[in-house]
Structure 1
Amino acid sequence: MKVKFIASLWSNRELWWRLTEREILGRYRGSALGILWSFITPLAMLAVYTFVFSQVFKARWGTLENAGPLGFAINLFAGLIVFNVFSECNSRAPNLICSNPNYVKKVIFPLETLGSVAVGNAGFHALTSLSILLVFELIAMQRIPLTVCWLPLVWLPLILLSLAGTWILSAAGVFLRDIGQLINVALNMLMFLSPIFFPVSALPERWQPILSLNPLAVIIEQTRRVTIQGLNPQPLYIVAGTMAGFAICEISFRIFQKSKRAFADVL
């Protein structure tokens, strides 16, 4: 069976690159610090979260516990990077088509590219945050684990899951405008139900299998495994996660393609 979404992404790769570049540069156009905001914003949020959870609530993390608040910050930040990619893509998705009616009504445009642009934009900011994480690790551990080279494979299911969610939610947002509010509430809940501020091992054993049903939980734990703990990713995660990601992406793409025939009538 032909994988249609890969063929579509490849045929529109130049358009995707230009639109992603325009969106990244346009986001900071006119500001005094420009693209530096992509580094300042995560650093500011990281400082607040770290102070509250490590100093006010006295939270501790087994990994890098000797590094004190800096060790907690590194573990926290690794989880935040993963969540922010997923959250940014899915929070924007419901309004993605509605905010670009000209692409639907007046020109022949591959609308599925808008979803991949959103993912590309989120991926860029994830890479800037990753560079901050690696600098913090170098300060805390005096080294960066070589296993970080596994990160592209660890994040591949995350990218595929985010892309699939973007296509589904952008199509649904055309027909059901309230879905944007619902998604924002769901993402806020998901943030605290994901192991961002705590490791899965900190939960009672009876709750750990339930939390593991959250796909972000597995991705976050595997991200910490290769970027902080210096361990190779679990082979089962790489194989099963990638296969599931491709399958979900293909299904979402086909649903989007069928749904977009009605976009012009609704808008």
Structure 2
Amino acid sequence: MAIGLVRSAWNYRGFIIGSVKREFQSRYRNSMLGAAWMIINPLAMIVVYTVIFSQMMRTRLPGVESHLAYSIYLCAGAFTWAFFAEIIGRSQNVFLDQANLIKKLNFPRICLPIIIVLNAGLNFVIVFSLFVAFLLVSGNFPGWAFGWLFPVLVIQIAFSIGLGMILGVLNVFFRDVGQLMGVVLQFWFWLTPIVYPLNALPDLARKAVELNPMTSIVSAYQDILVRGRAPDWMSLAPATALALVLCFAGMQLFRKRSGEMVDEL
């Protein structure tokens, strides 16, 4: 089944690449600053959180003593979360937003989640590349440990697209899913150690936050980029297993309900 979906997507790779290109161009068309907004929005958030929380939180980060180090810690988590949230936010509405396209054209529906991941990935690569350039200029590049980012990124993408596919299918049949996830993502952000470190929480709250699969993923990025060390792979094992389960469940649900979705759109 998975091989068949991959083959179908590969056969329509021209359609996928063209859609990614058109969407990226249309997003900033007629905008004076264009793609600069991609940088301005997260940068504004980083500045606000750094000003508000740096003095309070940097004393709780082991080995972190400067405002700059806390900003790197914050960026590592915030950019990771933004990538995750964009995939989830767009995946849950992908079949509804593309209803006209689905009804008029005959193409593998699996192309739509792939387009979302590629668009979100393009945005992430642009923003994260500038962040890496800042690390190099400021002398805070983590060195060889940077290579550990790639397996962590694969785990994050698998988790995001697996959950996103399930939400996207469910939202076609139950429209409250999209509304509910908007609220869930707001709480989820604050239940992930992005602005604060885990050791700043009481024991009971820390144990609850550790159950969050995004905690281990975000912490892996922070370990690599802030502390220059490999992530704790044992802590990533549950998130990896959950990502695989969600991808499998998402593909099964998509395969079984893809025909019915057209009638519901």
Instruction: Give the TM-score taking structure 1 as reference length.
Output: 0.88
Paired amino acid for 2:198: V
Q: Which has the higher helix share?
A: 2
DSSP-derived class of the 1:59 partner: helix
Please say if residues 159 and 240 of structure 2, whose CA atoms lie closer than 8 Å, have aligned partners that are also in contact. no
CA distance change for structure 1 residues 54 and 236 in 2, over 3 Å: closer, same or farther? closer
Structure 1 stretches of 5 or more lacking a match? none
Which digits, 9 at most, give the CA deviation of each residue in 1:226-249, with x for residues without a partner? 222111233435666445423321
Instruction: Give the TM-score taking structure 2 as reference length.
Output: 0.89
CA distance change for structure 1 residues 175 and 16 in 2, over 3 Å: closer, same or farther? same
Residues in 1 aligned to 2:114 and 2:26: alpha-carbon distance in whole angstroms: 17
The answer for the alignment partner of 1:26 in structure 2 is: 26
Alignment RMSD: 2.3
The answer for the alignment partner of 2:92 in structure 1 is: 94
Whether 2:190 is the aligned partner of 1:192: answer yes
Give the Å deviation of 1:77. Answer: 1.1
Whether 2:199 is the aligned partner of 1:207: answer no
Between the two proteins, the alignment pairs up a number of residues equal to: 264
Give the Å deviation of 1:18. Answer: 2.1
CA distance change for structure 1 residues 124 and 42 in 2, over 3 Å: closer, same or farther? same
Indicate the percent of aligned positions where both proteins have the same amino acid: 31
Give the Å deviation of 1:11. Answer: 3.9
Please say if residues 193 and 211 of structure 1, whose CA atoms lie closer than 8 Å, have aligned partners that are also in contact. yes
Paired amino acid for 1:203: L
DSSP-derived class of the 2:211 partner: coil
Give the Å deviation of 1:84. Answer: 1.0
Paired amino acid for 2:28: Y
Give the Å deviation of 1:265. Answer: 1.5
- Alignment equivalent of 1:259, drawn from 251, 257, 260: 257
Structure 2 stretches of 5 or more lacking a match? none
Runs of 4+ more than 6 Å apart: none
1:217-232 alignment, distance < 5 Å = 217-232=215-230
The answer for the alignment partner of 2:35 in structure 1 is: 35
Residues in 2 aligned to 1:11 and 1:143: alpha-carbon distance in whole angstroms: 39
The answer for the alignment partner of 1:16 in structure 2 is: 16
The answer for the alignment partner of 1:114 in structure 2 is: 112
CA distance change for structure 1 residues 235 and 66 in 2, over 3 Å: closer, same or farther? closer
